[in-house]
Amino acid sequence: MRFTNTVFELIHTKSYETIAHVIPQKGAYVEVGNRVLIGLVKEDNRLFQAFMDGTATLYYSGKQFPTTIALQDLHFFMPYIKGKGIRDVYEIVKVRTITGKEAKQTDEDDADSKALRLAFELRYVRKQYAEFQPIDTTKMIVHTFVDTTFDKLEECVIIDKL
């Protein structure tokens, strides 16, 4: 089968048009979504104090992470400090896998230490609230995560009605 120059020109033109729509051009504004992952941080977590101070640069999941959460849509992370609530917002810079051994920084060599976890590399952005705000933990998936947006964040916060 022979292609004519017209067919090659058509393929080239359509490819260029497709690429122009998919790849941001110089000076283009790329909108970052507003999806927020709220994740449980317990006192026995080695990074607990860093989350309290707003200096954390890493969050790692447990052995289970819900398959219903689309990782590519997450842009922000809010730590839920058990017994206190949510306050700070972090940008999710990168998501990768690590072993339990790396997450906990131990020398143990058992099945748990070899289990894979998700690691979210973080950058502190701001305080969403001046004080910790308790949340409705019944909305947590696997008792650990809430996948929401900034627009719907207030639906998670428990408001004291005194």
- pLDDT greater than 90 at residue 129: yes
What is the structure's pLDDT at 161?
A: 45
The amino acid that residue 144 corresponds to is T
Work out the mean pLDDT of the chain and round it to a whole number. Answer: 78
Q: How confident is the model at residue 153 (pLDDT cuts 50, 70, 90)?
A: confident
Rounded Cα distance, 97 and 3, in Å: 47
Per the model's pLDDT, the better-predicted residue between 138 and 20 turns out to be 138
The amino acid that residue 50 corresponds to is A
Instruction: Tell me the three-class secondary structure of the chain, residue by residue.
Output: CCCCHHHHHHHHHHHHHHHHHHCCCCCCCCCCCCEEEEEEECCCCCCHHHHHHCCCCEEECCCCCCCCCCHHHCCEEEEEECCCEECEEEEEEEEEEEEHHHHHCCCCCCHHHHCEEEEEEEEEEEECCCCCECECHHHCECCCEEEEECCCHHHCECCCCC
Rounded Cα distance, 95 and 102, in Å: 15
What is the structure's pLDDT at 150?
A: 87
pTM of the model: 0.73
Query: Of the spans 60-64, 92-96, 116-120, 155-159, which averages the highest pLDDT?
Result: 92-96
- pLDDT greater than 80 at residue 7: no
Neighbours of 11 (CB within 10 A): 11
Full strand arrangement of the beta sheet holding 88-99: 58-60, 116-127, 88-99, 76-81, 35-41, 145-149
Per the model's pLDDT, the better-predicted residue between 110 and 132 turns out to be 132
Taking only the tens place, the pLDDT of each residue in 11-46 is 555 555 555 555 555 555 444 568 999 999 988 878
